[in-house]
Amino acid sequence: MTEILNEASQDFLSTKLVTSESLSYLRKGIKIESKNGVIKIYNTKFGGDFYKELNNDEYQLFLTNGWKVGCYMMAISNYKVSLQRISESIVKEINSRKNQRHYVTLKQTRNSVMEKFTETLKLLQKESK
């Protein structure tokens, strides 16, 4: 885990956060934090008021692939979940409320997430070569 934290510190696209209690880096909705010598990784995209700590499989993703590729893979997973939720909302809107303005907003949001998804997929493919 220390190697992943060091890799995050070397990554110029990661945002550094320093408090009196911790040192953290953020990239693509993923936060790695060192607090009192304990290093944890969180997914900031879902979970409400508190960030969700990664499960064992997700930690393994970072241990195997490193900080950058791990962040890209987690971001792609997050985008897939977001796209699924948006698609469900679009279907619900079409079948029940039929509010045209909300429908258009959902479509714009879907397009925005698709662009981020595609951009991140390209970055992942470039990094994997």
* Secondary structure of residue 36 in the 3-state scheme: coil
Token output for 48: 């409400």
pLDDT band at 68 (very low <50, low <70, confident <90, very high): very high
Q: What is the pLDDT of residue 64?
A: 94
Token output for 68: 């950058």
Contact 62, 31 (CB under 8 A): no
Q: What is the pLDDT of residue 7?
A: 95
24-38: average pLDDT = 95
pTM as predicted: 0.88
